[in-house]
């Protein structure tokens, strides 16, 4: 199969890809078809736009490497990450010196990766100014030669995969913001409602006034725009505020 046909198939399948695990499986397949051993898709959302820094990470690097990377906080000195900020073009890791001055810290990260079995690699920056920085990397097991002839195809794969990942994350955030939020106290009451307790009983259990219990439950109903407690419990179960375990006990 020609490389372009592989890319076309990949892009076609991306249309139907709605979850990060599905995206990961798809990337794993095309990575292997293009001749690479590992892939990693990383996206960091602009901190200024959101309160918490969200990152999306999918890939198949050896678990041992991921653990080392996280435990030692290597992200900050990862030369791949640093170099990816300096360019919009795909680059081979062997070219790192052209983008950054490789210091001892950088070399330590590369050595650590090598010890865990990751050899030569290629990274596709996939930044969106004002929105998020991202990279898609393809790497080889130590000792295996990287297929230079797949670089162009890999760049397309990386860019389209990044856009798909962004859309998945965005859709999830949209769904989460559409879901009504419940306060802890409302949830506490709701658990007991799902056990069939009356307002008086709930008030005894929680040590608050019966009228307060009624207020909490009415507020929760208002957030969901429903009038009956049964509807509230069902919706809260659906949205994951309550688990079946909470409700059934």
Residues that bind other proteins (CB under 8 A): 2-4, 7-8, 11-12, 15, 88-90, 126-131, 152-153, 155-156, 159-160, 162-163, 166-167, 170-171, 174
Angstrom CA distances, 163 to 112, 126, 132, 139, 183, stand at 30, 9, 11, 21, 34
Residue reference for tokens 């506490």: 188
Looking at the Cβ atoms of 136 and 190, the one nearer to other proteins is 136
Closest contact distance (angstroms) between CB of 8 and other proteins is 7
Residue 31 has a CB neighbour count (10 Å cut-off) of: 24
Residue reference for tokens 């990287």: 146
Looking at the Cβ atoms of 166 and 241, the one nearer to other proteins is 166
Closest contact distance (angstroms) between CB of 150 and other proteins is 10
Residue reference for tokens 């979850």: 19
Looking at the Cβ atoms of 43 and 194, the one nearer to other proteins is 43
Closest contact distance (angstroms) between CB of 65 and other proteins is 27
DSSP, residue by residue, 36-83: -SEEEEEEEE-TTTSSS--EEEEE---HHHHHHHHHTTGGGG-HHHHH
Looking at the Cβ atoms of 110 and 136, the one nearer to other proteins is 136
Token pair, residue 84, equals 């990816």
Looking at the Cβ atoms of 113 and 124, the one nearer to other proteins is 124
Closest contact distance (angstroms) between CB of 128 and other proteins is 5
Closest contact distance (angstroms) between CB of 179 and other proteins is 18
């Amino acid at each position: 199969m020609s490389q372009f046909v592989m890319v076309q198939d990949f892009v076609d399948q991306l249309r139907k890809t709605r979850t990060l695990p599905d995206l990961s499986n798809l990337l794993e397949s095309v990575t292997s078809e293009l001749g690479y051993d590992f892939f990693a898709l990383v996206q960091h959302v602009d901190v200024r736009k959101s309160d918490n820094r969200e990152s999306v990470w999918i890939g198949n690097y050896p678990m041992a490497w991921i653990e080392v990377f996280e435990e030692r906080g290597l992200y900050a000195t990862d030369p791949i990450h640093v170099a990816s900020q300096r360019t919009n073009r795909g680059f081979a890791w062997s070219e790192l010196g052209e983008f950054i001055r490789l210091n001892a810290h950088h070399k330590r990260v590369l050595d650590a990766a090598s010890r865990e079995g990751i050899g030569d690699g290629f990274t596709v920056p996939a930044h969106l100014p004002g929105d998020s920085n991202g990279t898609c990397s393809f790497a080889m097991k130590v000792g295996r030669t990287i297929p230079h002839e797949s670089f162009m195809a890999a760049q397309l794969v990386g860019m389209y995969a990044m856009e798909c990942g962004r859309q998945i994350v965005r859709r999830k955030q949209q769904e989460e913001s559409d879901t009504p939020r419940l306060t802890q106290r409302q949830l506490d009451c709701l658990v007991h409602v799902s056990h069939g307790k009356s307002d008086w009983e709930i008030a005894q259990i929680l040590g608050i006034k019966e009228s307060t219990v009624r207020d909490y439950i009415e507020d929760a109903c208002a957030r969901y725009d429903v009038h009956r407690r049964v509807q509230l419990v069902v919706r809260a179960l659906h949205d994951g505020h309550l688990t079946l375990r909470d409700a059934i006990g």
